C-alpha cells in the first residue's frame, strides 16, 4: 500500500491500513512487528497522560496531536488482536456503542432520572449487573476499580466504592483523628528503625487515609498532588535561577541558602497574587 500524504485528507480506514502495513511480516516495520499487548500497554498509558497534559495546558494543537496518538494505540491493540483472531477494530467500535446505548436509557430509551446523582447510581447499578454476568465472578462492592491505576487514585476510588455500601466514617473529623493515629504509628515504627516492612506498611496506611480525607473534603487527591508537584517544580526552578544569578550551581550551594531563596520565591509569588487581585 502506498499513501501519498500531500494534501490528502485521511480517515479511520486509512489509519487501519497504515497499522496493518506496519505490522505486515513482509513489508512492515521491524519495531512495530515485534510489539505485543504487553509492550504497547505502557505507551497507551503514557499517551493518555499526554492528552491530559495538553488539556490542562489548554494547548489545543497539542491536544489534536495527542488524541491522534491515543487513537493510534487503540488501533495498534486492535490490529494485534485481529492477527490473533481475538477481535478487530470494528468489534471495539460496536462494543462501545452498545455499552453507551445500554448505559444511557434516559437518552436512548424511556428511562427518566431526577438528578445527576440518581443517574450516577443507575450507571453504577448497570455496571454491577454487567460484571455479575461474567463467569466465575464473586460480586464485590469494589469490582471495576482497575489494579493498574496510579496508587493514590486507586485508593480514592476504592474508598468511594466502599462508602457506597456504608463502610465510611460519617464525619470528616473522624478521618482527621485517624490521620493523627496513623502518623503516631508511623513515627513509632520509624524510631524503632528495625523493620522496613512494617515502616512501609505504616507509611502506606497514612497515604491511604490521606486519600480518604481528600474524598471527605471533596478534593481529588491526585489533582491536589499534581498541583503540589507543579508548584514545587516552579519554585525550585526559581531558586536555581536566583542561584545562577549569583554564579552558583545548586550542588555548590547548601540547604540554608537554598531554603532562604525558597522563602523569597514564595513571598514574591504572594506579592504577584496580591497585585493581580
The domain limits of the chain are: 12-101, 222-276
What value, to the nearest 5°, has the Cα angle with vertex 231 and ends 228 and 237?
A: 140
Q: Which residue has the cell 491493540?
A: 77
126-185 tens-digit pLDDT: 666 666 666 566 678 888 788 878 888 899 999 998 998 899 999 999 999 999 999 999
User: CB of 257 within 8 A of CB of 235?
Assistant: no
Q: What average pLDDT is seen over the chain?
A: 89
User: CB of 258 within 8 A of CB of 243?
Assistant: yes
Task: Return the exposure string of 177-206: e unless at least 16 CB atoms fall within 10 Å of the residue's CB, then b.
Answer: ebbeebeebbeebeeeeeeeeebeebeebb
Indicate the range of 79-83, 165-169, 269-273 predicted with least confidence.
Answer: 269-273
Task: Return the exposure string of 56-87: e unless at least 16 CB atoms fall within 10 Å of the residue's CB, then b.
Answer: eeeeeeebeebeeebebbbbbbbbbbbeeeee
Mean pLDDT in residue range 90-95: 96
- Residue range 12-101 in CATH 1.10.287.1080: yes
110-138 tens-digit pLDDT: 777 777 677 767 666 666 666 666 656 66
Percent of the chain surpassing pLDDT 90 = 65
Return d(Cα 157, Cα 142) in angstroms, integer.
9
179-218 tens-digit pLDDT: 999 999 999 999 998 889 999 999 999 999 999 999 999 9
Amino acid at each position: 500500500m502506498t499513501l501519498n500524504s500531500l494534501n490528502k485528507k485521511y480517515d479511520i480506514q486509512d489509519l487501519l491500513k497504515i497499522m496493518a502495513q506496519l505490522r505486515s511480516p513482509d513489508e512492515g516495520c521491524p519495531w512495530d512487528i515485534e510489539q505485543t499487548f504487553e509492550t504497547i500497554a505502557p505507551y497507551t498509558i503514557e499517551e493518555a497522560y499526554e492528552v491530559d497534559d495538553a488539556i490542562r495546558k489548554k494547548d489545543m494543537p497539542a491536544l489534536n496531536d495527542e488524541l491522534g496518538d491515543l487513537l493510534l494505540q487503540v488501533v495498534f491493540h486492535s490490529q494485534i488482536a485481529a492477527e490473533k483472531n481475538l477481535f478487530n477494530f470494528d468489534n471495539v467500535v460496536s462494543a462501545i456503542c452498545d455499552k453507551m446505548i445500554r448505559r444511557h436509557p434516559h437518552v436512548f430509551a424511556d428511562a427518566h432520572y431526577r438528578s445527576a446523582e440518581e443517574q450516577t447510581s443507575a450507571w453504577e447499578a448497570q455496571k454491577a449487573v454487567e460484571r455479575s454476568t461474567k463467569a466465575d465472578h464473586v460480586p464485590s462492592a469494589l469490582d471495576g476499580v482497575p489494579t493498574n491505576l496510579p496508587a493514590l487514585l486507586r485508593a480514592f476510588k476504592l474508598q468511594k466504592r466502599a462508602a457506597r455500601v456504608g463502610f465510611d466514617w460519617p464525619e470528616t473529623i473522624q478521618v482527621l483523628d485517624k490521620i493523627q493515629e496513623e502518623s503516631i504509628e508511623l513515627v513509632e515504627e520509624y524510631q524503632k528503625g528495625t523493620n522496613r516492612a512494617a515502616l512501609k506498611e505504616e507509611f502506606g496506611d497514612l497515604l491511604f487515609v490521606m486519600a480518604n480525607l481528600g474524598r471527605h473534603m471533596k478534593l481529588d487527591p491526585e489533582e491536589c498532588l499534581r498541583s503540589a508537584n507543579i508548584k514545587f517544580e516552579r519554585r525550585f526552578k526559581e531558586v536555581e535561577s536566583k542561584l545562577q544569578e549569583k554564579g552558583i550551581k545548586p550542588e555548590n550551594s547548601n540547604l540554608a541558602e537554598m531554603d532562604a531563596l525558597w522563602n523569597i520565591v514564595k513571598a514574591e509569588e504572594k506579592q504577584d497574587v496580591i497585585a493581580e487581585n
